[in-house]
Amino acid sequence: MTEPFHIHPRLPAIDGIFHLGPNVLIAGHAAHERIAEHLHDHLPHMHIRYGFEIPVQSFSGLDAAALEVAMLVKAEHRVDCNPVFVARGPGAEGVCWKIAGQDVHWVHDAEVGAKATRGWERAGRKIPEGYRFSGFRTSDLEERQVRRYSRAELQAAIGQGVRCDQHFQATWGEPRPEPIDPYEVVICLSDDASGFETFFRLPTTVALGAC
Amino acid sequence: MGRETIDGATVGLRLAAGGAPEGKVIHVRARRSPSGPEQNAFVFLDLAADLPRARYLAWVNLFDVEHAARRQAGRWRLCEPAQAETLEAEWRPFGWGDAAFPSVADAHVAEDADAI
């Protein structure tokens, strides 16, 4: 029997990447200077940021798995995932988390978006009109093929537990000069093997007492 | 807006109904002027005008070209390996008219491939 693949959402812990300060989960930015790994610095964009923890676990019964993420965003926006960051690098850059010796990247996957939609609605929740879950799975470095990690690769990368920050950037699907007003984003984390999923909400302003 | 030199590599082609290229998806390799496209941006080059017109795309990698080809079969083609080129174009940073392209954002909301 496969044990659930546990991932726990957390507040982000690494400040300064992409010029985002403490407890900023959602931020609207105009086009700005080039920052490595920042996909949409040349367009009006909205940052989406959170932390997560993968605790030590056995991965019992798991041969391999791809990690999944879906985010509830406005239909006219597209979202792209940055690599997972484990530290801040030079300036506003991030240092990427590696599994099996490679930076963890993400590729769009409509099936993950549909899966998150089903999970959301299973609890009686409705998708607000004009919104949709945009889904991703872990990918190769070119972000073209889904990358599944073996149990041994996951154990080696997670060890006694890891703590990471994840950044996404939403931009207009059809580029427009208008800024994107920040809005609340719901995130779903899951994997393609164990059936685990967790939903959490990123407010535009973190509530007092949340950290 | 104005004439800019675009230094990049063609990673995809937009094809007319007859199969002739009518546009290019270019990965910008170097920023050539303060007003021109940014390094690593993806731009669409419209070849229909006398002076090609270029504008930003929200796309970020080859996956997007492949996605467009799935959405509109026969209208998009991947260029592998990418073909380096430097060209002059009228630069329109945020697009014009009603031009619309498949984006990954509409991957599962539009069952109708024409409803882009």
Judge: B105–A142 Cβ closer than 8 Å, yes or no: no
pLDDT tens sequence across B53-112: 999 999 999 999 999 999 899 999 999 999 999 999 999 988 776 667 888 876 544 444
- DSSP-assigned letter for residue A63: S
CA distance B6 to B26: 9
Q: Is B58 on the interface with A (CB under 8 A)?
A: yes
Residue A204 has pLDDT above 70, yes or no: yes
Residue A8 has pLDDT above 90, yes or no: yes
Judge: A113–B107 Cβ closer than 8 Å, yes or no: yes
The token pair that represents B10 in the structure block: 């063609």
How much is the average pLDDT of A16-23? 90
Q: B10 in helix, strand or coil?
A: strand
Nearest Cα residue to A59 out of A137, A138, A4: A4
- Please give, rounded to a whole number of angstroms, the shortest distance from the CA of B107 to a CA of chain A: 6
What confidence tier does A36 reach under pLDDT thresholds 50, 70, 90? confident
How much is the average pLDDT of A53-80? 94
Judge: A175–B58 Cβ closer than 8 Å, yes or no: yes
Strand partners, B30: B7
Place of tokens 């060209």: B87
What confidence tier does A14 reach under pLDDT thresholds 50, 70, 90? very high
- If phi > 0 it is left, if psi is from -120 to 50 it is alpha, else beta; for residue B95 that is left
The pLDDT, as a whole number, for residue A96 is: 93
A41 vs B contacts (CB less than 8 Å): 38
A77 vs B contacts (CB less than 8 Å): 105
Provide the CA A166 distance to its chain's centre, in angstroms.
Answer: 5
Best A108, A139, A167 residue to mutate vs chain B (most B CBs within 10 Å)? A108
CA distance A38 to A93: 8
- Please give, rounded to a whole number of angstroms, the shortest distance from the CA of B49 to a CA of chain A: 20
E strand map for chain A: 8-10, 26-29, 45-55, 64-65, 67-74, 77-88, 94-96, 98-99, 102-103, 105-108, 131-139, 149-150, 161-172, 185-191, 197-202
Judge: A42–B37 Cβ closer than 8 Å, yes or no: yes
The token pair that represents A183 in the structure block: 């809005």
Contact (Cβ atoms closer than 8 angstroms) between residue A52 and residue A123:
no
Residue A210 lies in a domain: no
Map out the domains of chain B as residue ranges. Answer: 2-106
CA distance B87 to A193: 48
A residues 154-183 lying closer than 8 A (beta carbon) to B = 171-177
The radius of gyration of chain B from alpha carbons, rounded to an integer in Å, stands at 14
Residue A51 lies in a domain: yes
Nearest Cα residue to B67 out of B41, B115, B17, B101: B101
- Domain range for A44: 8-202
CB contacts < 8 A, A to B, total 77
pLDDT tens sequence across A98-147: 999 999 999 999 999 999 999 999 999 999 999 999 999 999 998 889 99
CA distance A138 to A46: 22
- Please give, rounded to a whole number of angstroms, the shortest distance from the CA of A58 to a CA of chain B: 34
Strand partners, A53: A8, A163
Residue A153 lies in a domain: yes
The pLDDT, as a whole number, for residue B1 is: 67
Residue B115 has pLDDT above 50, yes or no: no
The pLDDT, as a whole number, for residue B109 is: 46
Q: Is B55 on the interface with A (CB under 8 A)?
A: yes
Judge: B106–A75 Cβ closer than 8 Å, yes or no: yes
Of B38, B104, B108, the CB nearest to A42: B38
The pLDDT, as a whole number, for residue B97 is: 65
Q: How many residues does chain A have?
A: 211
B109 vs A contacts (CB less than 8 Å): 75, 132
- If phi > 0 it is left, if psi is from -120 to 50 it is alpha, else beta; for residue A159 that is left
The pLDDT, as a whole number, for residue A210 is: 74
B55 vs A contacts (CB less than 8 Å): 175
The token pair that represents A172 in the structure block: 């207009």
CA distance B53 to B67: 23
B103 vs A contacts (CB less than 8 Å): 78, 173-174
Structural domain total, chain A: 1
The set of residues, in sequence order, having a beta carbon less than 8 Å from that of A176 and lying 6+ positions away, is A44, B94, B95
Residue A208 lies in a domain: no
